Every structure is written in structure tokens, then in C-alpha cells.
Amino acid sequence: MFMCSPSFSGPTRLNDTMRPFLIDTDPGIDDALALLLAFGSPECRVEAITTVAGNVEVPFCTRNARRVVAVAAPIRPPRIVEGAAGPLARPLRTATHYHGADGLGDALPSEAPSPAPAPGSAARTLVETARRVGRMLTVVAIGPLTNVAQALELDATALADIGRLVVMGGAVDVPGNVTPTAEFNMHVDPEAADRVVAAGLPLELVPLDVTQRVILARAALDAALERAPRRLADFVSRCTRFAFRVEAAADHPGLTLHDPLAVGVALAPSFVTFERVRLEIGADGETRRRPGPPNCRVALAVEADRFVPWFLERLCRASSS
């Protein structure tokens, strides 16, 4: 049985060793878990959260980001900025069958807590943060890449100068999860994905090849949450219940930690093994290998048995940042 560390005594002070993160997200149940992982990790400080339409429509995504921040209660709350309401060139496809109509399993109050969203656009927030922080910045994109593509149009040079762009998306050597060849985030906005992959960014892709191997069993989560702060434990238990039911109905052994793995790789790259690859984005969001100079690093192997307990220990902390 895995338990949270009893030695953790609450939030730590901000310090210069924390790496600044900007998380672009479409919460989403596993997105919420990924955000909580970031807030429970002392190595990073979440500077901003930008939301994008994907798992649900963008107003729900923004409200869900506010819900997570309210539960995590970080010492310095990040800016939350609402982003693109739909893909660049096609209608929005959502995943409410898995995440519920509100994105968090339809199990939470409908009112949105503080903090309120900040004014401005997500694309401009990405650019402004990249200009200010530069190579120290890690951008973690765990939804469709619409905001990132729009930021490239504003200032591609600023985005090229960040330290890392870690993206959850793609299905390189495995089948897709929405079509036989495409993963959801890439499929929702392939035009945006194509622009991002072709832009010469410090891109690290965390695709289904690794995320589908990282499974969280309900019993392991319940055991970990026994030692979590009560408000956090209640939030996580309630918003994951819907997804666990969906997984059980499909005879799956647990929750697939797609987005938490991407945040985990941003924090600790040693969980995965990367290969330098040249990728091309297809019309439906396929991530195809192509000959030629590499344009990204792709995670193709993962230490799932090491990642899951590490994730659970950090998930059930109070906020560290």
C-alpha cells in the first residue's frame, strides 16, 4: 500500500531554485491531476495557466483551472488566462464522454471559485512569459496546441528561446485513441499541431506510446488520499469517480495518466527515454515519422512502476509553490 509521506509539513517558501512553468491545458480530469502534480512539486513554480478548448468548451476549462488552483492554494497563485475557444480551422471536438459535461466528472458545485481569470489572451500571455523568463521557462502543453500556434504568430522568436516545450500528444508507433492513427489532442487541432512541430521549438513530445503504459488503479489512489489534506482528497476522489467508471465499463484496469506523465517529464525527464525524430502531422492529427533532420524529441519508453508512486506522493501534498 502506498501512503503519502507523513513528513511533509505544508507549503515551502518560494525560492530561486524553482523552475518557472507555464501550463497550457484543457481541464479535463487528468489535466486536473497534472496541475495538482505541478503544485505539489517543489522544483517548479507555476507562473501562469492558459486554457484552451479541448476536453470541454473553454469556459468550462477556465472554471476547472480555477477550481484546481483554489484546492491547491499555492503561496503565489498563477495567472489564469482563458484562451482559444476552438481549433484554428475546424469545429471543436470534445471528450465529455470521458470527462463529463463540465470536464471534472459532473461531481462538483457549479459556481467558479477564486481566483478570477486575468484579462488578456492566452497567446499573448505565452509570448509575454517567454520574453520575460526566456530559457528558464518550461511550457507544458497538455491540450490541443491552438494557443501555442497563435503565440507563434505573435512572436515565434520568443517561443523558440524558451528552455523546453513539453507536449502531451501524438501516437507515433502505436494506434491512436480517437482514430486508428491519431491521438485526441493532435486530432482536435491538427493545423495548430502542424505549425508547432514545424516551428523549430525545443519540443519534447510525450505521446500515447508512453502515457498508455502509466495506469493508476483506484485502490492505489484511495490509499494515497487517506493521508492527503481532506479538501484535496475530496476533490480528487469526486472528480476521478466518473473516469474510473468509464474505464471500468471498457474493462480497463484504471485511469491512464496521460497529462500527469507530461508534467512529470517536465519535472524529471529521467522517467522516459527519448528518441530524436522527425515528425509530420497528418490531416487528422496523425504523428508520422519522416526521413530527415529531427524536429523534436519523442518519449518512447517509460518507467511506469517508478512514476506512479512518485506521482501519488506529490499529488496528495498540500501545495509546495
CATH number of domain containing 240: 3.90.245.10
What is d(CA 100, CA 305) in angstroms, rounded to the nearest whole number?
29
Average pLDDT value over all residues in the chain: 93
Mean per-residue pLDDT for 298-315? 97
166 domain residue, yes or no: yes
C-alpha cell at 16: 530561486
Give the pLDDT band of residue 112 (cuts 50, 70, 90): confident
Please say if the pLDDT value at position 9 is more than 60. no
% of the chain surpassing 90 pLDDT = 88
Residue 178 domain-assigned (yes or no): yes
The total domain count for the chain is 1
Output the pLDDT for position 319: 63
- Residue 110 placed within a domain: yes
d(CA 142, CA 19): 18
Mean pLDDT along residues 67-76 = 94
Establish if 157 belongs to a structural domain. Answer: yes
Q: Is residue 18 in some structural domain?
A: no
Q: Taking residues 46-58, report their average pLDDT.
A: 98
Least confident of 76-85, 108-117, 177-186, 286-295: 108-117
Do 139 and 165 meet the contact criterion of CB atoms below 8 Å apart?
Answer: yes
In a domain, 305, yes or no: yes
Least confident of 81-85, 214-218, 227-231: 227-231
- Domain that includes residue 299, residue range: 23-315
**Cβ neighbours for 285, distance < 8 A, ≥ 6 positions apart:** 176, 179, 182, 183, 185, 186, 187, 188, 189, 190, 193
* pLDDT tens-digit readout, 140-170: 999 999 999 999 999 999 999 999 999 999 9
Asked if the structure places residue 77 within a domain, the reply is: yes
Q: Which residues contact 55 (CB under 8 A, 6 or more apart)?
A: 26, 27, 28, 31, 61, 94, 95, 96, 98, 99, 103, 143
Say if residue 113's pLDDT is above 70.
yes
CB 123 within 8 A of CB 147: yes
State the average pLDDT over residues 255-269: 98
Residue 55 above 90 pLDDT? Answer: yes
Which residues touch 150 (CB under 8 Å, ≥6 apart)?
Answer: 83, 84, 88, 121, 122, 123, 192
pLDDT classification of 1: cutoffs 50, 70, 90: very low
- pLDDT (mean) for 212-234: 96
Catalytically annotated residues: 258
Domain membership of residue 101 (yes or no) is: yes
pLDDT digits (tens, 9 = 90+) for 11-45: 333 455 789 999 999 999 999 999 999 999 999 99
Per-residue pLDDT for 8 more than 70? Answer: no
- Residue 16: per-residue pLDDT: 59
Number of H helices, E strands in the chain: 12, 12
pLDDT band at 114 (very low <50, low <70, confident <90, very high): confident
| pLDDT of 115 | 73
Determine what percent of the chain is predicted with pLDDT higher than 70. 94
Q: What DSSP state is assigned to residue 270? A: G
Grid cell in block for residue 181: 492513427
